[in-house]
Homo-oligomer: A and B are copies of this chain.
Amino acid sequence: VQPFTNTLAESVGAWGEAKLITQIRRWLGSASPASPFGVGDDCAVLAPANRRQLITVDPVIYGRHFDDTVSPLAVGAKLLKRNLSDIAAMGGRPTAAVVALTLDPLVSQTWLRQFYRGLARCAADHRVPIVGGDIAESPGIFAASLTLLGQATGPRILTRVGARLGDRIYVTGVLGGSLASGHHVKFKPRLAEGAWLAAQPEIRAMMDLSDGLAKDLPALCPPGCDPALDPAAIPRRPGADLAQALTDGEDYELVFVLSGRVDHERFELAWSRKFPQVKLTCIGNFVTNRTRSILAVDLKSFQGYEHLQPRRSLRR
Contacts and interface: CB of A to CB of B under 8 A. Distances in A.
Contacts of A136: 59, 61, 64-65, 143, 307, 316
Interface size class of chain A, counting residues whose CB lies under 8 Å from the partner chain: 35 or more
Contacts of A239: none
A217 interface: no
Interface in A130-147: 131-138, 140-141, 143, 145, 147
13 contacts: A12-B308, A36-B160, A43-B55, A45-B53, A48-B49, A64-B136, A64-B138, A98-B147, A100-B100, A100-B147, A102-B102, A136-B316, A140-B140
Given A13-B310, A42-B90, A57 B102 contact: no
Contact of A56 (B58, B98, B309): B98
How many monomers of this protein are in the complex?
Answer: 2
A59 B46 CA distance: 21
A45 B143 contact: no
A51 interface: yes
B42 A53 contact: no
A230 interface: no
Interface string A64-105: 110000000000000000000111011010001011101001
A59 B12 CA distance: 19
A42 B89 contact: yes
